[in-house]
Amino acid sequence: MHNNIDFIAYYFSKNEGVGVQRARYLYKFLQTNGYLPILHSSDTFGYMAKRSKFLWGIILLIKLIFSKNKKLYATCGPFWFLPIIWLIGKLRKTKLIYDFRDPWSFNIERGYGNINKRGNHIKILISRFIEKKIYNDCFSFWVCTPGMYELYRNLFKDDTKLKFVPNGYEFTRDEIINNNENVCGPLKNAIKIVCLGRMAVHGISHTKKLFSEINGYIKENKNKSISIQLIGTEKDEIEKIVSDMKLDKIVTFLPKQDHKKALGIAVTSDVGICLVRDENYELGTKAFDYIGLGIPILDIFDHTKNFYNYFKEYIIKIEDIEYLHKYSPPKELYRGYIFKSVLESFN
């Protein structure tokens, strides 16, 4: 019983996107290190509970009330079940570890990146009240970016329980190469640029700036061949930008892929594209994927923001792509290395 942990990850199925990778890896990591995580996900309590969040929350509350486990890990979002976790912690003196993958109240305040959709003031006050309560009563409060660390340190006026636990990558380059077919771009002997996942969701202005810089480079370096693969991006929203800049012949749209298969396509590339909504508060899952593959990231970033400062040694300017070189992925950004450093939180 000493190593039993209630492990709450509402989104856990591998079909629910890259956001579940962190929880899925930690779950297995705990198992291989002698712990017994008891999973509570959206699939755990049956079909009706999966369809009804209210029913799921009630069942979770009952399960936790009668649980004999003294440790509880909860990854968020979603955030609506946090009052349940906080209540259980108060009632049962449970050791609580919260893993915030997004800055909840600050996302509400900023309209989730939409400047025309600022959050309701009441919702902001309620979310911050809950965040402060759970911070006061938890054992550890994890955040996954330096920007989030700054936000919550200022909100809590304290950082003794705050831990910066970045996402990292969870594979080896050789594993990806050996287990996947290499998929080449539309042009042979070209500098191959790849984007894993969506682009427009992070802002059309960012997307236009990116293609404008690539287009400018091509016009100035007509002897250079470039091909671009967009894997799982929003074709309807991006295609017009590509067409307007007359990049149709070098851009290939590929459908959304299984994560490992997408990495198998990307590993043959020379440069990766990573767009984020807010460069101060986000690092971007795909940035870690590129780094794990040994691929530099194309520079379209504000050099005064946290994103660039965190990743700058892996970022390359478009005018320097002729000097491309592969590098060995840093062990410090491997998920196994990252989680080993916080394993003691579960003791």
How many other CB atoms are found less than 10 A from the CB of residue 123? 12
| Mean predicted lDDT score pLDDT of the chain | 88
pLDDT at 14: 83
Question: What is the mean predicted confidence (pLDDT) over 151-165?
Answer: 96
Residue closest to 248 by CA, chosen among 278, 215, 271: 215
Domains, the chain, in order of start with CATH, read 4-169+335-346 (3.40.50.2000), 173-328 (3.40.50.2000)
pLDDT at 116: 57
pLDDT grade, residue 177 (50/70/90)?
confident
Compute the distance between CA of residue 31 and CA of residue 341 in angstroms, rounded to an integer. Answer: 16
The percent of residues in the chain predicted with pLDDT above 90, rounded, is: 54
pLDDT at 181: 61
Compute the distance between CA of residue 316 and CA of residue 325 in angstroms, rounded to an integer. Answer: 10
Q: Torsions phi, psi of 93, nearest 5?
A: 55, 40
pLDDT grade, residue 107 (50/70/90)?
confident
| Dihedral, CA of residue 315, residue 317, residue 322 and residue 325, to nearest 10 | -10
Task: Indicate whether 115 pLDDT > 80.
Answer: no
Question: What is the mean predicted confidence (pLDDT) over 105-121?
Answer: 73
pLDDT at 167: 93
Task: Indicate whether 346 pLDDT > 50.
Answer: yes
Compute the distance between CA of residue 6 and CA of residue 81 in angstroms, rounded to an integer. Answer: 14
Sequence-distant (6+) residues with CB within 8 A of 222 are none
pLDDT at 254: 92
pLDDT grade, residue 118 (50/70/90)?
low
Sequence-distant (6+) residues with CB within 8 A of 329 are 169, 172, 173, 291, 292, 293, 294
Task: Indicate whether 183 pLDDT > 60.
Answer: no
Task: Indicate whether 75 pLDDT > 80.
Answer: yes
Compute the distance between CA of residue 97 and CA of residue 72 in angstroms, rounded to an integer. Answer: 6
pLDDT at 189: 66
Question: What is the mean predicted confidence (pLDDT) over 55-83?
Answer: 92
Q: Which residue has the tokens 């800055």?
A: 103
pLDDT at 142: 97
Compute the distance between CA of residue 193 and CA of residue 191 in angstroms, rounded to an integer. Answer: 7
Compute the distance between CA of residue 307 and CA of residue 144 in angstroms, rounded to an integer. Answer: 12
Check if the beta carbon of residue 48 is closer than 8 Å to that of residue 55.
Answer: yes
Question: What is the mean predicted confidence (pLDDT) over 221-248?
Answer: 87
CA 91 to each of CA 73, 75, 340: distance values in angstroms, whole numbers, following the listed order: 16, 20, 30
Sequence-distant (6+) residues with CB within 8 A of 47 are none
Cα angle 345, 310, 8 (rounded to 5 degrees) comes to 35
Each as own residue / partner, the long-range contacts of residues 103-106 (CB below 8 Å, 24 or more positions apart, any chain) are 103/143, 103/147, 103/148, 103/151, 103/152, 103/281, 104/76, 104/77, 104/79, 104/131, 105/131, 105/155, 106/151, 106/281
Q: pTM of the full predicted structure?
A: 0.89
Task: Indicate whether 96 pLDDT > 60.
Answer: yes
Task: Indicate whether 10 pLDDT > 90.
Answer: yes
pLDDT grade, residue 1 (50/70/90)?
low
Class of residue 109 by CB neighbours under 10 A (exposed 0-12, middle 13-18, buried 19+): middle
pLDDT at 273: 93
Question: What is the mean predicted confidence (pLDDT) over 50-66?
Answer: 93
Question: What is the mean predicted confidence (pLDDT) over 284-288?
Answer: 90
Compute the distance between CA of residue 172 and CA of residue 293 in angstroms, rounded to an integer. Answer: 7
Check if the beta carbon of residue 162 is closer than 8 Å to that of residue 143.
Answer: yes
pLDDT at 61: 93
Task: Indicate whether 185 pLDDT > 50.
Answer: no
Sequence-distant (6+) residues with CB within 8 A of 209 are 300
Give the highest mean pLDDT range of 130-144, 209-223, 254-268. Answer: 130-144
Q: What are the structure tokens assigned to 91, written together?
A: 């009632």
Check if the beta carbon of residue 94 is closer than 8 Å to that of residue 71.
Answer: yes
Q: Is 5 helix (H, G, I), strand (E, B) or coil?
A: strand
Question: What is the mean predicted confidence (pLDDT) over 74-79?
Answer: 89
The runs of H, that is alpha helices, within 138-266 are: 146-156, 173-179, 204-220, 235-244, 259-266
Task: Indicate whether 327 pLDDT > 90.
Answer: no
Put residue 113 in one of left, alpha, beta given phi > 0 → left and psi -120 to 50 → alpha. left
